[in-house]
Structures are given as structure tokens and as C-alpha cells.
């Protein structure tokens, strides 16, 4: 019995030390306000859930491609793709989803409904009236799928890159979905690992050069961790099958691109989408991981350009 008490006190001490460590770390030490945004090379617009950072570049009369990033990152992941598309004469809209980058971190459920509404309000306010192409990566793939079946008349085509297809499952993230306990575990243990993982990707001359720095920059602003945990909880329980079943009913041209060596969302997940959408155009990029557009742009860009040309 005494041994169990000792173990219990050790566990309590570890938890307490972890909480103290987190509490005294210099995390989320900055407030994302107008003064900060004035120093950034970007545009900002007020939408119903807060301010959204965006960049809209290219000729006004050109076809528009809207780019949607994935979980935990922001619009910086699209820099190689944006440059390529602009060089080809397209108009490119790149945004930070709520909770990410330099967009606001509203008190909301960070899921498809929120993000789809954000995208729609943005294109309406920017007066993008002609049908446009929509490209989403990872979690952003599920977001654009949700947007596409909610606003099919807005799109000329849809492109999914290594998209999130299935919910993670509440059991897999337990106890992260438990109030207070989840916040503690996520903030003390998971966020430091997430930061370390992104920083370790950075390397001079690498396609991920400055990747870690950009991740750290957004993580310094108040509300980032809360938004990330909310997104994770949503991904654990949302019925993505519903989103893709609804998407399958739409008639817009659709392209699926997947890296053959994706370890984050393995390529076997494509089977579900191909089952739901037998006419789905499908391209595998050999040797690529989770982000082909950054890892192998020399393979990804020609596939994307060929697709866009076919829709003209």
C-alpha cells in the first residue's frame, strides 16, 4: 500500500511539474492586433468570425485558384505553388484559415463549417464572381470538399492533395477530448513535440527552409494552441464520410493527387474516395510524402497545370 502511495505522489509531482513548466514558458506571449498586422506584407479583411489574412495576386481577368492549407500550418506552405501559378498567368488567392497564421483565433469549433464559411465570405467580399478552382491540402482537403458540396455553383474544379478522409477516432486521442485533462496533455506534451517536429524540417537549401521559423512565428500569438486542440478534437469525431458522400453528388470536375510515400495520411486512404467517386481523376506522385507541392514541385506543378488547362 505504501508503495502505491509513493507511485501516486510521483505521478502527481510529474503532473504538477509539467504544468508549472508550461505555465512559466514564454508561450503565446504576443497579441495578434492591428499594430502587428501593419508590419506584415499581406492583406487583411474582416469577416463574421474575425480578421482573415489573405493574398490575392495576378491579373483580374485571369482564372482564379484558391489555395487552402492544412492543420497547424498556414499559407506559407503554398509559396512554391503560388509562384508557379502566377508565372503561368493565373490569379491566386491564398489565405490563413482561422486559428492559423495571422488570421484571428475566434472562440469557435474549428471544423469544416467554420472554414467553409470563412472561404465563402472571403471570395464574396473580394468580388470573385466567376467560378474558380479550389485546391486543398491535408485537413484543407477535407475543408475544400466540404466547401465544394455546400457551394458547388462557385467552383470550376476541385483539387484534393493528400486529403484527410477518415476521422481520427475519439478513442485514439483519448484523453485529449476530455476537458482540462486534454488541455494539460496537449499544451505540456504535444505542442512541444509539434514545434520540434516542424523546426527539425528546416534546413538550408531544403524545400522546407524557414518552415520551422514560420511555424514558430504563428505559435507565439495568443489562441494558437486552443485553436489547434479544437481542430484536433473536431478531426477525431467529425463524420468525413458525410462530406465526401455529399461531394460525390456534385458534377464539378475533381482531381485527387497523392504522394506514394505519405506517412501522415497513407495513400491507402484514397481507396475510400475512389469508391465514392468512380469518375474521380487520380494521380500518384511516386516518391513524394505528405506535401508533394513542396517536396517535389517539379512533379506536382505539371500535373496541376495540365489539369487546369483541361478545364479551360
Cell output for 283: 494521380
| pLDDT digits 0-9 by tens, 232-252 | 888 878 889 999 999 999 999
Distance CA 245, CA 256 (A): 15
| pLDDT digits 0-9 by tens, 104-127 | 999 999 999 999 999 999 999 999
CA atoms within a 13 Å half-sphere pointing along the CA-CB vector of 50: 20
Residues whose CB is less than 8 angstroms from the CB of residue 274 and which lie 6 or more positions away in sequence, other chains included:
256, 280, 282
Compute the average pLDDT of residues 52-68.
98
Confidence at residue 184, expressed as pLDDT on a 0 to 100 scale: 82
Distance CA 93, CA 152 (A): 18
Q: How confident is the model at residue 9 (pLDDT cuts 50, 70, 90)?
A: very low
Cell output for 64: 482564379
264: left (phi over 0), alpha (psi -120 to 50) or beta: alpha
Distance CA 116, CA 57 (A): 21
Helical pair 211-219 and 224-237, crossing angle rounded to 10 deg:
100
SS percent in the chain: helix, strand, coil, step 5: 50, 15, 35
The rounded mean pLDDT for the chain is: 88
pTM: 0.89
Q: How confident is the model at residue 131 (pLDDT cuts 50, 70, 90)?
A: very high
Distance CA 209, CA 59 (A): 29
Cell 474575425, residue located: 50
Distance CA 186, CA 190 (A): 5
- Each domain of the chain, given as residue ranges in start order, spans 37-310
50: left (phi over 0), alpha (psi -120 to 50) or beta: left
CA atoms within a 13 Å half-sphere pointing along the CA-CB vector of 77: 27
Q: For the domain bounded by 37-310, which CATH number is listed?
A: 3.40.50.1820
Amino acid at each position: 500500500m505504501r508503495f502505491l502511495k509513493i507511485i501516486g505522489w510521483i505521478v502527481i509531482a510529474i503532473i504538477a511539474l509539467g504544468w508549472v513548466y508550461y505555465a512559466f514558458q514564454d508561450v503565446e506571449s504576443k497579441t495578434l492586433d492591428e499594430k502587428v498586422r501593419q508590419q506584415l506584407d499581406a492583406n487583411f479583411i474582416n469577416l463574421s468570425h474575425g480578421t482573415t489574412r489573405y493574398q490575392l495576386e495576378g491579373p483580374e481577368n485571369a482564372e482564379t485558384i484558391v489555395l487552402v492549407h492544412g492543420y497547424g500550418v498556414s499559407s506559407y506552405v503554398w509559396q512554391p505553388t503560388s509562384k508557379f501559378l502566377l508565372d503561368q498567368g493565373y490569379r491566386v488567392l491564398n489565405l490563413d484559415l482561422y486559428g492559423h497564421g495571422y488570421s484571428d483565433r475566434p472562440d469557435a469549433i474549428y471544423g469544416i463549417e467554420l472554414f467553409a464559411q470563412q472561404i465563402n465570405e472571403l471570395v464574396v467580399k473580394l468580388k470573385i464572381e466567376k467560378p474558380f478552382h479550389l485546391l486543398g491540402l491535408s485537413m484543407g482537403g477535407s475543408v475544400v470538399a466540404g466547401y465544394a458540396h455546400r457551394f458547388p455553383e462557385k467552383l470550376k474544379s476541385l483539387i484534393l492533395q493528400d486529403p484527410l478522409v477518415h476521422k481520427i477516432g475519439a478513442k485514439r486521442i483519448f484523453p485529449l477530448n476530455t476537458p482540462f485533462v486534454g488541455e494539460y496533455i496537449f499544451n505540456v506534451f504535444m505542442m512541444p513535440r509539434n514545434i520540434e517536429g516542424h523546426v527539425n524540417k528546416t534546413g538550408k537549401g531544403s524545400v522546407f527552409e524557414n518552415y520551422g521559423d514560420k511555424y514558430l512565428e504563428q505559435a507565439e500569438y495568443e489562441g494558437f494552441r486552443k485553436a489547434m486542440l479544437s481542430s484536433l478534437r473536431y478531426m477525431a469525431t467529425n463524420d468525413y464520410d458525410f462530406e465526401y458522400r455529399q461531394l460525390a453528388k456534385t458534377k464539378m470536375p475533381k482531381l485527387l493527387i497523392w504522394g506514394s510515400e505519405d506517412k501522415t495520411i497513407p495513400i491507402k486512404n484514397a481507396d475510400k474516395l475512389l469508391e465514392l467517386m468512380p469518375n474521380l481523376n487520380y494521380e500518384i506522385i511516386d516518391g513524394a510524402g505528405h506535401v508533394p507541392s513542396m517536396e517535389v514541385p517539379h512533379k506536382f506543378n505539371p500535373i496541376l497545370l495540365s489539369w487546369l488547362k483541361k478545364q479551360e
